[in-house]
Amino acid sequence: MLETALLIPGVNAFRVGPPLVPHGARGYQVALAVEFEDLQAFREWLPHPHHRLMSEFINSLAEEKPLSYQIASERVAKL
């Protein structure tokens, strides 16, 4: 199901995994990160049917409402 993210135009990468340091994850057990070509690709992703299916699937598994936020990759420090 989650691999459908890569079928959406403008999605460059999709990653899923557990936190490296669980005690610092504030109770979250998994993270999903999507990298887009640009802001327009992100805007087109929101109403896309594959995104809607993924959202419904993730929400059906979540015990609490998932946390969602956006970052500008050009402002992210390279580690």
Domain hosting residue 56, numbered range: 2-63
* Residue 48 covered by a domain: yes
Q: Say whether pTM exceeds 0.95.
A: no
* Residue 59 covered by a domain: yes
Model confidence at 2, in pLDDT bands (50, 70, 90)? low
Residue 14's CATH number: 3.30.70.100
Task: Decide if 70 contacts 34 (C-beta within 8 A).
Answer: no
Nearest to 51 by CA among 71, 32, 28, 72: 32
* Residue 35 covered by a domain: yes
Using CA atoms, how far apart are residues 17 and 32, in angstroms rounded to an integer? 7
Give the containing element (helix H, strand E) for 32.
strand 31-36
Structure confidence by residue, pLDDT tens digits, 48-65 = 988 888 888 888 877 777
Residue whose tokens read 């699937």: 57
Model confidence at 66, in pLDDT bands (50, 70, 90)? confident
Domain count, the chain: 1
* Residue 27 covered by a domain: yes
